[in-house]
Amino acid sequence: MTTATTTADDEAPAFSELRERLWQAVIDCDELSALSLVRAAADTGACDPVQVRRAAERILLDLIAPTQRRVGTEWAANKITVAQEHAATAINERCISALADATAHALPETSRGRVVVACVDGEWHALPARLVAEVLRLRGWRVDYLGAQVPTEHLVAHLHHTGADAVLLSSSIPTHLPIAHTAISACQAIGVPVLAGGAAFGEDGRYARAMRAEWALDAAGAHLALAQGLERPKADAARLPDRDLPHLNDQEYTMVRRVKRQLVKQALADVEDGFPAMRDYSEFQRERTVEDIDYIVSYLATALYVDDADLFTTFVTWTAGILEARRVPAASLQPVLVSLLRQLSDFPRAVSILDQSRVALTDLRSGQTS
Ligand code: B12
């Protein structure tokens, strides 16, 4: 007699449907439904540990990761609140823990090596690093997961103490790149290879490479790089940032960082002059405006650090989108850029970056109106 055979995969609803259901659960702050959905997806009925691990990895990377990314797009489009975004992240973190518990029995018995996964100092986006850590565990690595914003000196002390084979540094926000550079060279200086990853390092990893770190796009890439073996840093790896980034010698980055408060204060005054209506802003609105200008100056400083106008232009056009979604005209960014141009007229690289961002902003607006 022949029976129709069904695999666990055929029985499971399509992943796109699962994604939609997880999305609904996290956005309704429905933690219990999200957890039971993830547990059910992990429970494929497979006894083979390899299959259990594969299913778990797929849940991490094809279910939870895209749900988190969608949180970002919907927040940017002003379709969900900051509170929903926080709740969604908390629920997804809990789902990852539940999955780790449910699959602990299937982890490989022998370890491929010991690695440390940490976010650079100041970086709050721990979830991307956590996904990488869990995938590496499933693939047989012993992982010390240190979580968000790890101060460099404590990271280095941990590496010393444990003798880890490599450190994986995660960063999502480009303004953390200067501090990431310090962490990279500090780890390499004690002979530990560094693999960097996360959105901050650029889609192609260009900033990681400029800072002489290895780079991988994602968790699978991280596993591959580790399995192939990372090169041990040479004895002379201790260095100042300008050895990797010689343009820092022009001091533009250092100066902009040093006078940042003044730049922000003056830009605020200039914007107020241009928009007298701003004088009637509430304390709360003023604080948000100061925050926005502060953020703009931080991105400008970072673009100077890595010498890449694209980094700033991408940020300015992204901010324009965020503002427009909240019915604030993107044109309100121009007076800030003009003020910074005037204040930094003696800094050729800053002027060029600001000019390019103004053009991009104008192109964006004419693209929207044409
Ligand atoms: C949740 C979230 C938060 C949470 C983070 C909580 C937590 N526990 O993680 C909180 C609320 C704290 C937060 C704060 C902020 N956030 Co936020 N956040 C997000 C959000 C929605 C999801 C992050 C996430 O988990 N992504 C999911 C994973 C899957 O992302 P991933 O990068 O693709 O990860 C993969 C790879 O990058 C890679 N990878 C990652 N790390 C590593 C490391 C190594 C070694 C390797 C090899 C690979 C690797 O593998 C991962 C798995 O495949 C993103 C949106 C987004 N698209 O990511 C915004 C986002 C990153 N945040 C953003 C912003 C602006 C902020 C704030 C500045 C907001 C503010 N004004 O306060 C602060 C900054 C705080 C700080 N100092 O770091 C922006 C950044 C935009 C930009 N141009 O810089 C984003 C993109 C939102 C948006 N749509 O615009 N945020």
* 306 vs 176: CA distance, rounded Å: 11
Place of tokens 């405006």: 289
Among the listed residues 106, 123, 110, 107, the one whose alpha carbon sits nearest the alpha carbon of residue 168: 123
- Report the nearest-CA residue for atom 38 of ligand 1: 218
Output the pLDDT for position 369. 52
- The answer on pLDDT for 370 being more than 90 is no
- The answer on pLDDT for 234 being more than 70 is yes
Among the listed residues 69, 68, 171, the one whose alpha carbon sits nearest the alpha carbon of residue 123: 171
Sign of CA dihedral 223, 182, 318, 24: positive
Indicate whether residue 133 lines ligand 1 (CB < 6 A): no
Determine the distance separating the centroid of ligand 1 and the alpha carbon of 192, expressed in angstroms.
26
Determine the distance separating the centroid of ligand 1 and the alpha carbon of 125, expressed in angstroms.
5
Determine the distance separating the centroid of ligand 1 and the alpha carbon of 41, expressed in angstroms.
25
**Does the predicted model carry a pTM greater than 0.85?**
yes
pLDDT in tens, 117-167: 999 999 999 999 999 999 999 999 999 999 999 999 999 999 999 999 999
Output the pLDDT for position 12. 53
What is the location of CATH 1.10.490 in the chain? 249-369
Question: What 8-state DSSP symbol labels residue 13?
Answer: P
Output the pLDDT for position 113. 97
The overall average pLDDT reported for the chain is 93
pLDDT in tens, 78-110: 999 999 999 999 999 999 999 999 999 999 999
What is the location of CATH 3.40.50.280 in the chain? 108-244
* 125 vs 180: CA distance, rounded Å: 14
- Report the nearest-CA residue for atom 28 of ligand 1: 128
Task: Using DSSP, state whether 344 is helix, strand or coil.
Answer: coil
- Give the DSSP letter string of 214-258: EE-SSHHHHHHHHHH-PPPPPTT----HHHH-GGGGG-HHHHHHH
Measuring CA to CA, how many Å separate 167 from each of 162, 195, 233, 333?
A: 11, 6, 12, 39
What is the location of CATH 1.10.1240.10 in the chain? 11-106
Q: What atom in ligand 1 is closest to the CA of residue 170?
A: 43
271: number of Cβ within 10 Å = 20
Indicate whether residue 125 lines ligand 1 (CB < 6 A): yes
Half-sphere exposure of 216 (CA within 13 A, CB side): 19
Output the pLDDT for position 286. 87
pLDDT in tens, 2-28: 333 334 444 455 789 999 999 999 999
Output the pLDDT for position 331. 82
Determine the distance separating the centroid of ligand 1 and the alpha carbon of 148, expressed in angstroms.
11
Region of 212 on the Ramachandran plot (φ > 0 left; ψ -120 to 50 alpha; else beta): left
Distance of CA 79 to the CA centre of its chain: 21
Indicate whether residue 139 lines ligand 1 (CB < 6 A): no
Determine the distance separating the centroid of ligand 1 and the alpha carbon of 20, expressed in angstroms.
21
**Contact residues for 315 (Cβ-Cβ < 8 A; gap 6+):** 174, 296, 299, 303
Average pLDDT over residues 323-333: 85
- Report the nearest-CA residue for atom 61 of ligand 1: 172
- The answer on pLDDT for 344 being more than 50 is yes
Determine the distance separating the centroid of ligand 1 and the alpha carbon of 197, expressed in angstroms.
12
- The answer on pLDDT for 330 being more than 90 is no
Indicate whether residue 193 lines ligand 1 (CB < 6 A): no
Helix 127-138 and helix 65-76: axis angle, to 10°? 170
Query: Highest-confidence range of 44-53, 217-226, 317-326, by mean pLDDT?
Result: 217-226
Indicate whether residue 126 lines ligand 1 (CB < 6 A): yes
* 283 vs 73: CA distance, rounded Å: 29
> Is 1.10.1660 the CATH classification of the domain at 249-369?
no
Average pLDDT over residues 289-311: 97
Sign of CA dihedral 156, 162, 165, 170: negative
Kindly state the percentage of the chain with pLDDT values over 70: 95
Indicate whether residue 74 lines ligand 1 (CB < 6 A): no
Q: What atom in ligand 1 is closest to the CA of residue 76?
A: 89
Q: Which of 86, 91, 144, 172 to mutate to test the pocket of ligand 1 (most atoms within 8 A of CB)?
A: 172
We find that the CATH architecture of domain 108-244 is 3-Layer(aba) Sandwich (3.40)
Phi, psi angles (nearest 5°) of residue 368? -75, -30
Of the pLDDT bands very low, low, confident and very high (cuts 50, 70, 90), residue 368 is low
Pairing of strands 214-215, 194-197: parallel
- Tokens at 108, concatenated: 């490989």
Q: What atom in ligand 1 is closest to the CA of residue 221?
A: 47
* 340 vs 154: CA distance, rounded Å: 36
- Would you say 244 and 194 are in contact if contact means Cβ atoms under 8 Å apart? no
Indicate whether residue 321 lines ligand 1 (CB < 6 A): no
Superfamily of domain 11-106: Methionine synthase domain (1.10.1240.10)
